[in-house]
Amino acid sequence: MACGFTVWPMQLMTWPQLVLGRPLRRAGHRTALVAAGLPLHLAVVPLWLWLLGAMAALTHAPGAAAVTPLPVLLTLVVTPLLTVGQRRRYRALVGKDLPRPAAPGPGGNWKTAVRRLTGRALWRQVCYHAVAGPLLAVLDLAVLAVWAAALVAASIYVWIWALPPQWRVTDLGYSTQAAYLTAGGLALLFLGPRLTGALVRLETRAAEVLLGPSRTEKLARRVADLAESRAGVLDAADAERRRIERDLHDGAQQHLVSLAVNLGLARATLGDLPADARKVIDEAHRQAKEAIAELNNLVRGLHPAVLEDRGLDAALSGVAARLPIPVRVAVDLPQRPSPTVEAVAYFVVSEALTNVVKHAQATRADVTVERIGETLLVVVADDGAGGADLDAAGGTGLAGLAKRVASVDGTLSCRSPAGGPTVITVELPCAP
């Protein structure tokens, strides 16, 4: 690592420190995590033994039945404490915060207590402390034993040198068994961090699964997060469209109108121009007006100002008025839906009407927008030839509309038998 080289002269590390320092520190942390786990993992065992004893006593002394619920109750009482302890252990030793299960929800003490008791989170915790904990403790002990054996065996020569002669194991050959023991100890030292690492991974996994949120909770949280971020993205896109609309309106549109006015004035006032020049000015004037019309269309496609200012009724009437066939628009909304839903409804109707004009050979169309409960119902009907297909290959029209509708969790259905009529129904959820 580059930073390792830059700090080299400052820290004056020796090469064994550099090579072994980090792995050793990590192994140390992990071993400490394992060791700290032992008392926590074993805390419930006496309660189990008590329960087993009480149950065994039941066979010859039925009066003991009164005692049996006690260990269970005690387990329930210590479970949250042990969970807190386990969370601290992970945070202190490996700097990891275990994900928390969902809160039991609002309510008084009594309600919360009932929810806790009936909820799954508590019983998964009990399962962790009472079943997984003791099993993990066995593995913890095994790994700690491996470390102890490794340290003792690897340093056998030190023991031989340090121990007074009368305490020594008598026929321990300096060159043979001691050498084997040293080699075995070194091998265990090599294995130790790996075993510890595997155990820590196993422990972490068990803690995450049983102390953290369940899969359902995780998915629910994920769905909520995704819904929120999607709404944010949609809102940002809408805001961006509005910004572009305003910029175009304040800039390019005004300039184009001014240009067209000047050309129009030139055409009207310069009476003595040669025919060619007049033709050029006429053409330029016409093009400027076309550019204004095109820019207006573009702006309407982005996010028309009228939609933001006056809502769906005014915006859709505007769309309908520009179409070559008669369109009836009936919008019945007691209050305005959210800007995002409004924008989707606007684009759906405006695209659907464009399709009607392009493909349906219709003589008229009807648009109704109303609110039923928490649903905005949009219906676009025409008396054309029918045969519109939602799944048509390459059909960006209806399929694109369906996607746009789905982006706010709405549904789009299309009934269009051959020969017509075509009815497109869109339901958009909107909060009350």
Position 226 contacts another protein (CB under 8 A): no
The dihedrals phi and psi of 330, each to the nearest 5 degrees, come to -125, 110
Helix axes 133-154 and 45-58, enclosed angle (nearest 10): 130
Q: What is the distance in angstroms between the CA of the first residue and the CA of the last residue of the chain? A: 57
263 vs 360, which CB is nearer to another protein? 263
252 binds another protein (CB under 8 A): no
Instruction: Using the minimum distance from each CB to another protein, give the nearer residue, 181 or 263.
Output: 263
Cβ distance to another protein smaller for residue 158 or 270: 270
- 260/381 with CB nearer another protein: 260
The Cα–Cα gap between 293 and 94 comes to 65
Q: Tell whether residue 260 is a contact of another protein (CB under 8 A).
A: yes
In whole angstroms, the minimum distance from the beta carbon of 348 to another protein comes to: 18
Kindly indicate which of the ranges 86-94, 174-182, 204-212, 261-269 contains the residues binding another protein, using the contact rule CB under 8 A: 261-269
**Nearest-approach distance from CB 371 to another protein, in angstroms:** 19
Q: The tokens 């819904």 sit on which residue?
A: 227
| Distance in Å, CB of 101 to another protein, minimum | 50
- Give every CB contact of residue 359 below 8 A, 6+ residues apart in sequence: 384, 385, 388
At its nearest, how many Å lie between another protein and the CB of residue 315?
Answer: 9
Residue 417's SS3 state is coil
**CA 247 – CA 236 distance, rounded (Å):** 16
Nearest C-alpha neighbor of 347 from the set 281, 407, 268 = 407
Q: Which of 63, 269, 275, 335 binds another protein (CB under 8 A)?
A: 269
Can residue 289 be called a binding residue for another protein (CB under 8 A)? yes
Q: Is 116 in the site for another protein (CB under 8 A)?
A: no
The only residue of 100, 328, 403, 415 in contact with another protein, by rule CB under 8 A: 328
Q: Going by DSSP bridges, is the β-strand pair 365-372/327-332 parallel, antiparallel, or unpaired? A: parallel
Query: Considering beta carbons, is residue 230 or 255 the nearer one to another protein?
Result: 255
Nearer to another protein by C-beta: 137 or 329? 329
Please pick, from the candidates 85, 134, 264, 429, the single residue that binds another protein as defined by CB under 8 A.
Answer: 264
Of 11, 177, 216, 258, the one binding another protein (CB under 8 A) is 258
Nearer Cβ to another protein, position 41 or 285? 285
Euclidean distance between CA atoms 214 and 216, whole angstroms: 5
Q: By C-alpha distance, which of 22, 32, 42, 23 is closest to 143?
A: 32
Output b/e per residue, 297-314; b: 16+ Cβ within 10 A: eebbebbbebbbeebbbe
User: 107-140: b or e for each residue (b if 16 or more CB lie within 10 Å)?
Assistant: eeeeeeeebeeebebbebbbbbbbebbeebbebb
> Could you tell me the two tokens for 384?
């054309």
CB 405 within 8 A of CB 411: yes
CA-CA-CA-CA torsion sign (343, 347, 349, 350): positive
Q: Does 330 engage in binding with another protein (CB under 8 A)? A: yes
Give whichever of 144 and 252 is closer to another protein, judged by the CB atom. Answer: 252
CB neighbourhood size of 85 (10 A): 16
CA distance readout (Å), 249 to 134, 232, 241, 295, 302: 72, 25, 12, 9, 12
Stretch that binds another protein, among 140-148, 182-190, 206-214, 248-256 (CB under 8 A): 248-256
Options 43, 98, 329, 345; binder of another protein; rule CB under 8 A: 329
Touching another protein, residues 294-323 (CB under 8 A): 296, 304-306, 309-310, 314, 317-318, 320-322
- 257 is a site residue for another protein (CB under 8 A): yes
Closer residue to another protein in complex, CB, 116/310: 310
> What are the residues binding another protein (CB under 8 A)?
249-250, 254-255, 257-258, 260-265, 267-269, 285, 288-289, 292-293, 296, 304-306, 309-310, 314, 317-318, 320-322, 326-330
